[in-house]
Every structure is written in structure tokens, then in C-alpha cells.
Structure 1
Amino acid sequence: MALTGKLETETEIKAPADKFFKIFRSQAHHLPNICSDKIHKIEVHEGDWETQGSVKHWSLTVGENSESIKETVDQIDEENRSITFKVLDGEVLKDYKSYKFTTQAIPKGEGCLVIWTIEYEKASEGGPDPHNCLEFSVNITKDIESHLLNA
């Protein structure tokens, strides 16, 4: 059984790609207001809201579980509207040795296609695949879409 894996999901939304990307690029501090039932708090621990290498601490609810993660912005690709985050600490690392997630917004008509990718290495054979985190990503994508369309 493979210990490393990659999961991906796509969600088409009516909000523009640039606006969706901007939320994660420089306005993550708005996420607790946009999806308050899922993301409760985000604090900057090192750096700022925009700089690659900055470290943030998130308090969130994934499924039925309250969790916290500390992540760093690993890579920013302005041209492709893509950001990769690397998890440094938190409950998710009980099941995974390494965990990265990427969001990308690809323009499609007046809206966009949002792609979430999770790359991980399980801490042990038989450990879970992070399907619940993909579902979480789709749900916050829909919350962000609603926010951007009503703004």
C-alpha cells in the first residue's frame, strides 16, 4: 500500500478567478467571516497575510471535528492563480508525515474552475486518505462564491 498520495477535486463557480484567488493570496483574514461555521480564526504567526513563507495558525471545523493547523505559504503562482500551503503543525499531522494543499482558480467564462489538490504522506500504512479535507475545500469554495457574488 502506498504511503504517499494525491487527491484532487474541481468545483465550477460563478465568481471570477481573480477575486477567488485574491481571498487566499492576500485576504485570508476575511475567511472566518465568509465561512464562520468552518473557519473560526486565522492568525499570522510570522510574516504577513501576503508573503511567501509567512506562517498562519487556523482554527477550523472539518466534518464534526474541531482542528487547528499551522501552515506556511509554500508557493505562489500569480500567473496561474495558484497557491500551495504546507502544513507545519496541527491535528492533521497525526495521520500524515507531510501534508500540502493547493488551490487554483482557472477563468472559465465569467466564473472559474477551482481546483484543490492535496499531496500527503501517511504516517502509517492503512492510515486514512484525506477525503474529508477535499469535502471541506469544496464547501468553503461554495461559501466564498456566495460571498463574492453578494459583495
Structure 2
Amino acid sequence: MQNMETAQCAEEMAQAEKLLGGRLTPAEKSLVGVLMQTKALRSSAKDLFNIYRCQPYRFPDLMKKQIKSVELLEGKWDQKGSKRRWTFVDDQCGTWDDIVEDINDQAMSIMWTLQKGIVPQQRYSILKVVHQFFAHEDGCLAIVTLAYKKKHARIPAPNDYMEFLIKMLEAADRPPRAGTNEE
């Protein structure tokens, strides 16, 4: 069992190094981590990828109680290098700026990195998110990967941010078909 845990830890560190941009020192390894979650959704992979890639400005309509606005600061919505500002309804969350680091149309994945945000930057020096979508049965599977680097060891993993990323996926998913018992 210990060998399996060691292998899993080594795999997580390798993934963290890849996402965070290079080799980590032993001191940094204690501050970084990767959270990953898979969610089955009703929408097609192509439709959800399109929202994340080209239409993030739809999130204020999809999540009225959480997101006030999403603005394009630089570039184009569907372009690598574009910068966006997310303004949250909760004033304590404030505004967060991110940059789209990569878009892979064939793999249906998009990666973005937090650039500014008072609340998350109090705890984390790096927050990087990858959304990837795969066709699956009557919808798709979405995999969300959140790589992070804490400012110090006492900071918890950003599980609340991962929960919010999953809520975003659920909000972007199409509603159940009429006449079904789905929620």
C-alpha cells in the first residue's frame, strides 16, 4: 500500500511540475498540489468546451447569485493569451483577473492562470485550472484539474475553489429534457 501511495504522490508531483512550469525544489514540493475531479454532464463535450473557450461572458447569466460580470481585458474570448476579469456578487470575493494559457481544440481543453485576486492571492502564489471535455454516452465527462502553490504550509488545499469550479460546470450544463425524471 505504501508503494502505491508513493507512486501516486510522485505522479501528482510530476503533474504539478508540468502545470506549474518546471522542476520544484524540495521546499516547494511541500507547498504544491493538484486537485482533480471528473463530472458527468448532459451537454455535449463540444457545447461545454465552446462555453469555456468562446463564451465565458455567459457565466453571469448562468450563475446570477455568484458572478456579477466577466469582462474581456485583452485579446479575444477564444484566444490564447486573452485576459479576463471575473467580478463576483460577494464583495468579499471581489474581482479576479486571469489569463488563458492554452487552448487545445483537438483535446477540447482550456488552461487558465489566476493573475490577480486579493482573496486567493492571500493564500496561494499560483492557481492554474485546466478544463477538459470528453464525449461520453448521452453527454460528456468534464475533468477539472486545479494546480496550486500555497504561500506557506499551514494554508489548506483550495478545495472550496474546486467546489466552485464544479458548480460552474453544473451551471453551464444544459437543463434536463422535458418529460424526464432528471433533476
TM-based fold match above 0.5: yes
Q: Paired residue for 2:106, among 73, 76, 79?
A: 79
Q: Deviations over 1:7-41 (max 9, x none)?
A: 01111011100000000110111111111122221
Q: What secondary structure, in the 3-state scheme, does the structure 2 residue paired with 1:146 have?
A: coil
In the alignment, which residue of structure 2 is the partner of 1:68? 95
Q: 1:15 touches 1:149 (CA, 8 Å); kept in 2?
A: no
Q: Which has the larger share of strand?
A: 1
Q: What secondary structure, in the 3-state scheme, does the structure 2 residue paired with 1:59 have?
A: strand
C-alpha separation between the residues in 1 aligned to 2:177 and 2:149? Answer: 36
Unaligned runs of 5+ in 1: none
Cα RMSD for the two superposed structures: 2.1
> Please, what TM-score do these two structures have when normalized by structure 2?
0.75
Q: Which amino acid aligns with 1:143?
A: A
Distance 1:138 1:61, change over 3 A: farther
Q: Paired residue for 1:117, among 122, 141, 145?
A: 145
In the alignment, which residue of structure 2 is the partner of 1:95? 123
> Please, what TM-score do these two structures have when normalized by structure 1?
0.90
Q: Which amino acid aligns with 2:33?
A: G
Unaligned runs of 5+ in 2: 1-28, 179-183
Task: Map 1:1-150 to 2 at 5 A.
Answer: 2-60=30-88, 65-90=92-117, 91-146=119-174
Aligned-residue sequence identity (percent) comes to 24
Give the paired residue count.
Answer: 149
C-alpha separation between the residues in 2 aligned to 1:94 and 1:50? Answer: 29
Q: Quote the offset at 1:61 in angstroms.
A: 5.6
Q: Which amino acid aligns with 1:77?
A: N
Give 4+ residue runs of structure 1 displaced > 3 Å after superposition.
146-150
C-alpha separation between the residues in 2 aligned to 1:140 and 1:2? Answer: 29
Q: Quote the offset at 1:66 in angstroms.
A: 2.6
Q: What secondary structure, in the 3-state scheme, does the structure 1 residue paired with 2:48 have?
A: helix
